[in-house]
Structure 1
């Protein structure tokens, strides 16, 4: 079997749904399992619903209504007959959402989050499956929650691989087009869970692993994986081949290539992953697989903006030792600051971090009791894999370099612009 993953951008409107049909006509759909995300920005819209729910806001009904209107508009664009069974199927799912919001008693934000956002994927796949049937492609709609079983760590659930493998290998029909949801699973009590960051890609990898699939293809609005973000670098080039190891290295430094948790099950069975264009589906795209590390062999640029550079030094000029570093990292973890670069000397310690939750001021108050703390906000961290002098110059020209670190394969440069 082949596993295809279509993200939210590929199914954001009626034209997107029609294009998925066209892609399948061109690349084939027998022995295919589709993993599909919520449509467009639906997850964001459902996060507004959750916020209004917890705030007990009078806007709750209107925020739910916005999600309903968005999907109903797509339905009316796809199906001329508004008595088609898809309208009833989608209405039933929205009724279930309304019922949950009216009757839920749990104050657990993460639990509520998973129950509510899941409707994005459930509804998108329902619409897609009905449209494929309408166009003459027989489909099997799968509720992924009956297949991928997890623990109860809502919003970042861990997969029960033994039970999941048993469910998928025994119950997925071959020789048909299967359509299921990305991002979702369920726990032992059948409450919905979600798989965390890049969850839909991970779902595709889970099914591929359990089905011994021939390949996984992630369909995007770009021709494949580029060596740099075209928004920041001119002349970004397509990478034809990336090894599993190199893709994990790139992801570690922040490249939005493929999340390591997606690659790990594929690597274990050497299942190739392709990143291809849903606009030009017959182009080769990028292959992430066993083989050459990188082809063509080019410097790869990763940019992380809005970083915070923190420098800690001992107040009494004593060494910063292991116990100090251990304490510092424990605090970073507690205050949810993601560390992207580390550099230390005998009496100082510098880190470039991401303060996504605006916790640094509180952390700084604690650190300042033991260390001299200097910090520079809004710096940019550039990472260059397979760097050369020309690549470094590309990054450094016209910028103030405040920190640079070089290892065998990787150069990291922090700039304040």
Structure 2
């Protein structure tokens, strides 16, 4: 059993869907599960729909129509006959979306987000499944929400592993080509949940774990895992082989090629993960596996944009000790702040966080009751794994450094 995951960039248009066929024909697709993301920038477009739903109802119909129009153009490029059942299936899904937006009574942004955003993956997987059938790659479309069960922590749901394992064991047919959606699952009330942004990789890992798969391959628009994101760093290099431990470290610090949760289930069963280019499927790409080390052994650069640096000091110059730290972390948890860096001294404490749930103002109001608070928004967090002096100098050049931290293998700086 092999599990393939195709991201949005690989199926951003009809040409991408046709190239997916090329990849499957070159690699083989017997006993294969294909996990697909939403097409192109559909997730971003659906986020506009959600924003309009809450803040600009007059624009809602237009933003929904933009998503429908994008997918209709792909349908027209793939299917000559407009009476093809693919059109009907996609129309049914978009009618479900519009019905939800018309009838929903919940004011909970995170709940609404998850009910809306998953339509990108559902529509994408239907189009791809139907096209594969048309060109002779017979497959079975499955609704991932019937297999992956989670709690109801919307936008970052946690998997109920026992129930998920049972459903996959009892209901998944290994002997055929299967197509399903990444990123989404469902809770005990069968409402759609999401596994966190970029969670399609995690979906592939969940299935691989439950199926005892031979391998997982993530098909990207890059040659494999690079030592730096080429959008932000020059002269990035391909990493040929990475240990699970090193890959988990890179993911934790924000490397965008592999989702942080993806590696843990694979590591438990020593299932290798390959990251390859969908443009050159014959190339080796990157292998993430049990073997120790990093090949080649070079500095790895990671950046997280749009972070928030919060610095606290005591109002009376007393020490910031265990009681204070405990209270601070309880508040960070309460307001769902993802902590990326912490640094403290006798009378100060700094933390760099991701304000994903837009609770910053509430957090700051709470903190100001007991601490002197300084807040810098829209900062960047840079991390170097296996740093050297040259790499540090290269990174700090022409930047205002607000915070710097070095450990044996990792350096991090927060900059304006």
- Using structure 2 for the length normalisation, give the TM-score: 0.92
Q: Which has the larger radius of gyration?
A: 1
| Deviation digits for residues 272-316 of structure 1 (CA, Å, limit 9, x no counterpart) | 111111111111111111002211111111123344443333333
Q: Could you tell me whether the CA contact under 8 Å between 1:308 and 1:354 is conserved in 2?
A: yes
Rounded Cα–Cα distance in structure 2 between residues aligned with 1:183 and 1:283: 27
Q: Over residues 182-207 of structure 1, what are the superposed CA-to-partner deviations in whole Å (9 max), with x where a residue is unaligned?
A: 11222333332222233211110111
The 2-side partners of 1:371 and 1:190 are apart by 43
Q: Which moved more, 1:103-112 or 1:259-268?
A: 103-112
Name the residue aligned to 1:273: 273
| Residue number in structure 1 paired with 2:164 | 164
Structure 1 residue 48, shift from structure 2 partner: 2.7
Between the aligned partners of 1:2 and 1:162, the Cα distance in structure 2 is: 22
In structure 2, the gaps of 5 or more residues are none
Counterpart-to-counterpart distance in 1, 2:362 and 2:153: 27
Matching residue of 1:333: 333
Which stretch of the first structure deviates more once superposed, 227-236 or 29-38? 227-236
Instruction: Look up the match of 2:344.
Output: 344
Distance 2:337 2:119 in 1: 31
The corresponding residue for 1:292 is 292
Q: Is the 8 A contact 2:199 2:259 kept in 1?
A: no
Q: Determine the structure 2 residue equivalent to 1:239.
A: 239
Superposed displacement of residue 34, structure 1:
0.3
Task: Evaluate the alpha carbon distance shift between residue 58 and residue 13 of structure 1 in structure 2; reply closer, same or farther with a 3 A threshold.
Answer: same
Greater CA deviation, 329-338 or 282-291? 329-338
Shift of 1:247: 1.2
Deviation (angstroms), 1:164: 1.5
Taking a change above 3 Å as real, the CA distance of residues 333 and 186 of structure 1, as seen in their structure-2 partners, is closer
- Provide Cα deviations, 1:11-68, integer angstroms capped at 9, x if missing partner: 1111111111111111111111000111112222223333333447133322222222
- Distance apart, 1:363 and its partner CA: 4.0
Offset, 1:361: 5.2
Distance 1:18 1:108, change over 3 A: same
Taking structure 1 as reference, are residues 106 and 173 closer, same or farther at Cα in structure 2, changes over 3 Å only?
same
Which segment is superposed worse, 327-336 or 240-249?
327-336
Structure 1 unaligned spans of 5+? none
Q: Find the residue that maps to 1:5 and give its secondary structure.
A: strand
Q: How many matched pairs?
A: 416
The structural deviation recorded for 1:355 is 4.1
Compared with structure 1, are the counterparts of its residues 56 and 348 closer, same or farther at alpha carbon in structure 2 (3 Å cutoff)? closer
Distance, in Å, in 1 between the alignment partners of 2:308 and 2:152 is: 33
Q: Contact 1:204–1:216 (CA<8 Å) still a contact in 2?
A: yes
1:251 matched residue in structure 2: 251
2:131 maps to 131
Pair 1:409–1:163, CA change in 2 (3 A): same
Corresponding residue for residue 28 of structure 2: 28
Does 2:381 match 1:393?
Answer: no
* Superposition pairs of residues 12-411 of structure 1, within 5 angstroms: 12-55=12-55, 57-356=57-356, 359-360=359-360, 363-411=363-411
What's the offset of the Cα at 1:237?
A: 0.9
